[in-house]
Chains A and B, each alone.
Chain A
Amino acid sequence: MIIAKRKPFDEIKDMLKGYKKVLTVGCGTCVAVCLAGGEKEVDVLNAELEMSRKLDDNPIEVGAATIERQCDREYLEALDASVDEYEAILSMACGAGVQFLAERYPEKPVFPAVNTTFIGVNQGVGWYEERCRSCSSCVLGITGGICPVTMCAKGLFNGPCGGTNKGSCEINKDQPCAWYLIYERLKKQGRLDCIMEVQPATAWENQVPRTVIQPGYEKSEGA
């Protein structure tokens, strides 16, 4: 899932300094699961904003709404009736949700309350680790299920580099060498020949927003 981290309170407060009526919108999917921008986090942030502005003798009126997904028009529609009542919107969704909200309500300033951080896994309550950089060229099939783009400090598709050092990366001895892990995993599986496959470099330059249209949906609405 997409992992996000709430922005420092002072940064959020500063973005809203000119506004007296703000709608805080949570997202019920990824950011709710990673405890950054779901219904509970909306309530906590609103309580903080209200108290802080009250202490400053500059009260703010905050509304709360959490929809299933901010990256889906179907759910954004639920906000249409109430958005007009507010001067600004504070989105607790990932960057995609914030942009979709800003696109739907172009006349309203939309501010992000979280920093979208990575695509990751849940290692424990409130503890997340990055696993994917969404590079569009997945090589996990030949790397034993270990992503070299994410786990290698250089993001090497073909490794290891000369900096591998007894299982660690040259940048830090506590950072495992991704390609050492890949080697060990493939060895265990008897698939060491995979490591000899040379992968072409990804065209990182001139990146534009990518689009995916799933087979069978080429002419569907909104595609």
Chain B
Amino acid sequence: MHLLRAIQKGADGAYVVGCLEGTCHYNEGNIRARQRVEHVQRLLEEIGMEGDRVRMYNLSSGEGPTFAAYAKEMTEHIKKLGPNPLKQKKKSKRRIV
């Protein structure tokens, strides 16, 4: 939902970074996170947007340079995709009853 909300609010892209697979403190937490990210990719494609605007990366806490490399990779990737098409459109309303 957070990923979807980010795109809905106009983010051009969003990525989730989890621990390396097999080293999650919550055992399968990062595996499940990847499944959820893939689900959001499908939801975006369902509504006609590029699913690849959201991505999942894995690294350990000691891999600062890799984190920076992933950030650069994601930035380049999003630049290629262009801005979020929702930003060009008029605002719609939403409320909680």
Interface size class of chain A, counting residues whose CB lies under 8 Å from the partner chain: 20 to 34
Annotate A47-62 by CB proximity to B: 1 below 8 A, 0 otherwise: 1101111110101111
Q: Pick the residue among B4, B85, B91 that contacts A55 (CB under 8 A).
A: B85
A-B contact count (CB 8 A): 66
As a 0/1 sequence over residues 53 to 97 of chain B, the CB contacts with chain A under 8 angstroms (1 = contact) are 000000000000000000000000000000001100111111111
**Which A residues are in CB contact (< 8 Å) with B96?**
63-65
Q: By DSSP majority rule, is chain A's interface helix, strand, loop, or mixed?
A: helix
Q: Which residue of B lies closest to A43 (CB)?
A: B1
Counting contact residues on chain B (CB < 8 A from A), the size range is: 20 to 34
Whether the Cβ atoms of B97 and A61 lie closer than 8 Å is no
- Is A195 on the interface with B (CB-CB < 8 A)? no
Residue contact B97 to A51, C-beta cutoff 8 Å:
no
Which of chain B's residues have a CB closer than 8 A to the CB of A65? 96-97
Given A48-B46, A51-B7, A54-B86, the answer on whether A40 and B1 have CB atoms closer than 8 Å is yes
Is residue A23 contacting chain B, with contact meaning CB distance below 8 A?
yes
Provide the bound-state CA to CA distance between A62 and B92, in Å: 9
A82 to B96, CA, bound (A): 10
Contact between B92 and A60 (Cβ–Cβ < 8 Å)? yes
Given the complex, which residues of B lie within 8 Å of A47, measured CB to CB? Answer: 1, 4-5, 8
Contacts of A10 in B (CB 8 A): 46
Which residues of chain B come closer than 8 Å to A82, judged between CB atoms? Answer: 97
Q: How far is the CA of A77 from the CA of B32 in the complex (A)?
A: 37
Q: Which residue of chain B has its CB nearest to the CB of A86?
A: B97
Contact present for B92 and A55 (CB under 8 Å) = no
**Given the complex, which residues of A lie within 8 Å of B97, measured CB to CB?**
23, 63-65, 79, 82
Interface residue from B4, B49, B86, B91 paired with A44 (Cβ < 8 Å): B4
Bound complex: CA A47 to CA B7 (Å)? 10
Residues in chain B within 8 A of chain A (CB atoms): 1, 4-5, 7-8, 32, 43, 46-49, 85-86, 89-97
The 3 A-B residue pairs with the shortest CB-CB distance in the complex, in nearest-first order: A59-B92, A52-B47, A65-B97
